[in-house]
Each structure stands twice: as C-alpha cells, then as structure tokens.
C-alpha cells in the first residue's frame, strides 16, 4: 500500500489527533528481532505465536471443536494461545495440542456462558453496568460503575446469583461508564470534540474515516478546527445498539487520506489492515485528549449499558481514555487496526475499564476498507501474520511486567479509596460470585505504560 505525504493542515486527520508524546519514539529499534511460529516446533508442543497468529489459529480451531470450544485467550508472557475445552473428550484435547495451542479443560461451555449473558441482558440491563465473557476465568465478568447502588445493585446481584455458582462474578469500577465525548480540540461537530479513528476508502472509492457512532449522531458535519469549515459529512452512524461506529466522508473527494496513525511527537505508524482482537493482546490507543497509551484486551463481545442506551459487540480493555478520545484508534504494534474508542470509566491517572468498537465489524457494516483500497481487498483477517513486523509479540509487556500484574498494585475493579460504593464488603463477601480482590488476570489498570513503543 502506498502512503502519500499530506499537508500539515491535514496531518491531524491521518489517524488519531496529534498529541506530543515523547515516549512514542517508535518501534523501529526492534525491527530486526525474530519471532517463532512457523510450525517448526514438534507436533503436540505449544507454538510460540504473535497475537495475530494466535487469533488466526483460534479462528480455525473454534469451528472445528464445535460445542467443546469454550473460548480462548493469548498468554503474552509465554506467547502461546490457550484454548478452553468443555466436556471430557480427550480427542478434543489432543486435537488442540496437536494444532500448537494449549488445551485447558474448563467447567462452563461457551453455550452456557452466552446463555448467562443473555440472562443478564434480560434481567440486569442497568445503566452503569457491563459484561463480557472472560476466557481466562471461564466466567462472565460483570462490571458495575459507581452509579450502581441501592436497588440497582440489589437487582444486579440477584441476577448474577441466579446464574449459579461459578458462572459469573461482579467487580466494581471507581469511575462512571460514559461515552468519551467532549467539547474541545481534534475533530469538531455540534460543539463536541472527538478523535478520528482510521482513514478508509468507501465502496465507491471516496476517501473517508471511521470514528465513534456517538460522535456521528451528535452532529452530521465535522471540522478540524473549533467552529471551522466542515471537512467531512457523516454517511452512516450506529449508536446505541449493535455497535458504536460512524463513517464520515471527506467533502473534498481529492483529499489525500493516508493509512497512518499519528503517534504524536512527529511520529506515525502505517496501518496495513484491520484485524480482530484477542484476549490478552497488547494494544495501543491514540486519542486527541490523552495521546498514546497502551494496555491489554480483557474481553470480547462486551455489552455496555451507557446512560444513552445499550451497546453490544464491543472489545473490553484496560487502556485508559478520557473525554475527547472517543472515536480514536486502537491498534497493534505491527500496524493492524483493531478498534475505535467508545467509552468506559476512569481516566489516565487512576486507570479504568474501556470499550472499543471492532474495526472489522464497522468496515463490514459500512462497506469500506482501510487505506486507499489498493491492499488487495483483504481488510480484516490478518491471515498469515505469523510474524510481527516490528519483531514484538502483540500482548507482550516490554517493561518486563508479568501478564496481568498491576504495576501500581491497584486491584482491578476495586474502589481506589478502598470503599465499595454500593455498600458491599468486598473484603469479606462473595455472595454473588463477586471477585473480592477485583483483580482480573491479565489486566493492568493503573500501570499503563504510555506510548510503550520503544520498550522503556
């Protein structure tokens, strides 16, 4: 794919808004590193894989395993894919191991977990709540923000209890779930500020970009300056409902819209294609408010109950974000587009939970593709990416942190003041399957290493 230089005036539109982040200084020092995953390991031994290659393997194995498949996740520390297997079929375990993954017997099937999520959608659609299947614990992880209290808390707790022991657990969030929309500086519309996600080419060859759906419904025209002339018009927007994404086309059809993300401090990253997320994967987020930040994917197909309505099918992460970051790019070190910032709780001081619209789903819905449309039309599956071009395995914490360790020692889901705002004694009760320590394996809520492209 070719990438043409654009005037400085348009540079803010070449990905997420530019924010000077010195730590963004780039991934190129690792470009000569190598990655295993070519199948050279002995048959039956776990393969060493990048997160992208792990996702490809899971996409192949999942349908083959049928009802025995109970989810999967990426172990970034070991660079292996873990596949949950329900039932007592030794043949399935052998099949998983021979494929190069690690088979992990679990109690709850994927069908049971999805049924539990459906029950929550029926009985606990309460503003300030969210849930997603957590394959690392083989449970549905339910998160309640600080607004869930009193009768709402009792309703949520009752719904979780009704699922039975070991099916779901509750964690508390110190913040409040909301879309990250704000008035300020990046792309502007109707007095609101959002962030551009990824430049795309529409089905009829027009240049455009993806952003958050709640930005698209806030106004139908967007500019690059406060009160400036419009440079793009919303063509499609979904929010709330089955996603949070919008397609904006540039009003000038001659606009050059390179497939890059602005990392700040004069650095950019080429975006080659879109790909699906994997639990445990290392991801980076760029936004016009907080710049470049990193973290891990913690859940897939998440449901979030915002005050404006319920949104389904999202990616859950522990990457921090703040108002104004909405619509910004979530991507991998090797240049795969993963998500668009939707919303969440917390901030980039205390951490929090955040949710992203999958880019692959958004592209399919609006009939667009990443970049200038000359990438052979393969937008979203990342097939054959056994090697991370930057020489770094997606999901690996270069600072040497153990996967899932909170650098600041802050327990995920725990009120920072040590108080359960809903009046629950987190240190002593687990009546609803509540995760008393609040610590989710693989989640680094407060220890985000901002702009960790250089391993520092």
- The stretch 309-316 carries a mean pLDDT of 98
Looking at every residue in the chain, the average pLDDT score rounds to 79
Question: pLDDT tier at 181 (50, 70, 90 boundaries)?
Answer: low
- The stretch 40-54 carries a mean pLDDT of 80
Instruction: Quick: pLDDT tens for 321-367.
Output: 999 999 999 999 999 999 999 999 999 998 989 999 999 999 999 99
Mean pLDDT lowest for which of 72-76, 180-184, 267-271? 180-184
Q: Which residues are catalytic?
A: 214, 244, 326
Residue 140, C-beta contacts closer than 8 angstroms, at least 6 positions apart: 113, 116, 117, 120, 131, 132, 133, 134, 163, 167, 168, 169
Q: How far is CA 351 from CA 266, 393, 414, 441, in A?
A: 26, 24, 11, 16
Quick one: pLDDT at residue 51? Answer: 86
Quick one: pLDDT at residue 190? Answer: 86
Query: Could you give the 3-state DSSP secondary structure of residue 202?
Result: coil
Contact 50, 394 (CB under 8 A): yes
Question: pLDDT tier at 373 (50, 70, 90 boundaries)?
Answer: low
Query: Could you give the 3-state DSSP secondary structure of residue 67?
Result: helix
Quick one: pLDDT at residue 266? Answer: 86
Q: In whole angstroms, what is the distance from residue 264 CA to residue 17 CA?
A: 8
Question: pLDDT tier at 191 (50, 70, 90 boundaries)?
Answer: confident
Quick one: pLDDT at residue 372? Answer: 64
Portion of the chain with pLDDT greater than 70, in percent: 71
Question: pLDDT tier at 369 (50, 70, 90 boundaries)?
Answer: very high
Quick one: pLDDT at residue 12? Answer: 35
Mean pLDDT lowest for which of 105-109, 222-226, 265-269, 411-415? 411-415
Candidates 340, 401, 347, 375; CA nearest to 187 is: 340
Quick one: pLDDT at residue 395? Answer: 42
Quick one: pLDDT at residue 88? Answer: 84
Strand ranges (E), 288-384:
291-306, 309-317, 329-331, 336-344, 354-358, 369-370
- The stretch 147-169 carries a mean pLDDT of 97
- The stretch 399-425 carries a mean pLDDT of 40
Query: Could you give the 3-state DSSP secondary structure of residue 11?
Result: helix
Mean pLDDT lowest for which of 139-143, 336-340, 436-440? 436-440
Quick one: pLDDT at residue 117? Answer: 97
405 pLDDT more than 70: no
């Amino acid at each position: 794919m070719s990438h043409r230089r654009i005037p400085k005036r348009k540079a803010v539109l070449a990905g997420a808004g530019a924010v000077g982040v010195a730590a963004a200084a780039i991934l190129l020092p690792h470009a000569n590193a190598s990655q295993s995953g070519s199948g050279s390991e002995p048959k039956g031994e776990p393969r060493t894989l990048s997160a992208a290659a792990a996702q490809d393997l899971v996409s192949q194995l999942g349908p083959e395993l049928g009802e025995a498949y109970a989810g999967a996740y990426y172990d970034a520390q070991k660079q292996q894919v873990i596949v949950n297997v329900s039932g007592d079929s030794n043949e399935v375990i052998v099949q998983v191991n021979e494929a190069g993954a690690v088979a992990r017997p679990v109690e709850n099937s994927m069908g049971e977990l999805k049924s539990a999520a459906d029950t929550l959608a029926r009985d606990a659609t309460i503003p300030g709540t969210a849930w997603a299947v957590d394959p690392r614990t083989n449970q549905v992880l339910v998160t309640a923000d600080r607004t869930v209290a009193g009768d709402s808390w009792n309703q949520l707790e009752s719904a979780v209890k009704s699922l039975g022991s070991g099916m779901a657990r509750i964690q508390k969030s110190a913040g409040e779930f909301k879309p990250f929309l704000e008035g300020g500086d990046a792309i502007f519309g109707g007095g609101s500020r959002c962030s551009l996600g990824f430049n795309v080419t529409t089905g009829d060859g027009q240049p455009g970009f993806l952003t958050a759906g709640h930005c698209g419904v806030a106004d139908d025209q967007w500019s690059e300056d406060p009160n400036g002339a419009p440079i793009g018009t919303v063509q499609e927007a979904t929010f709330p409902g089955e996603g949070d994404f919008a397609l904006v086309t540039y009003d000038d059809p001659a606009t050059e819209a390179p497939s890059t993300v602005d990392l700040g401090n004069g650095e950019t990253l080429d975006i080659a294609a879109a790909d699906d997320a994997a639990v445990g994967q290392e991801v980076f987020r760029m936004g016009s408010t907080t710049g470049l930040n990193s973290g891990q994917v913690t859940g897939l197909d998440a449901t979030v109950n915002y005050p404006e309505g319920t949104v389904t099918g999202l990616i859950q992460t522990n990457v921090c974000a703040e108002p104004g970051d909405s619509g910004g790019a979530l991507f991998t070190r090797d240049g795969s587009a993963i998500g668009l910032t939707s919303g969440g709780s917390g901030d980039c001081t205390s951490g929090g939970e955040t949710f992203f619209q999958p880019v692959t789903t958004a592209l399919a819905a609006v009939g667009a593709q990443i970049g200038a449309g000359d990438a052979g039309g393969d937008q979203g599956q990342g097939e054959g990416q056994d090697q991370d071009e930057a020489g770094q395995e997606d999901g690996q914490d270069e600072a040497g942190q153990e996967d899932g360790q909170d650098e600041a020692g802050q327990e995920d889901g725990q009120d920072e003041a040590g108080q359960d705002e809903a009046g629950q004694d987190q240190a002593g009760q687990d009546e609803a399957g509540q995760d008393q320590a609040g610590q989710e394996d693989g989640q680094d809520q407060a220890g985000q290493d901002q702009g960790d492209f250089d391993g520092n």
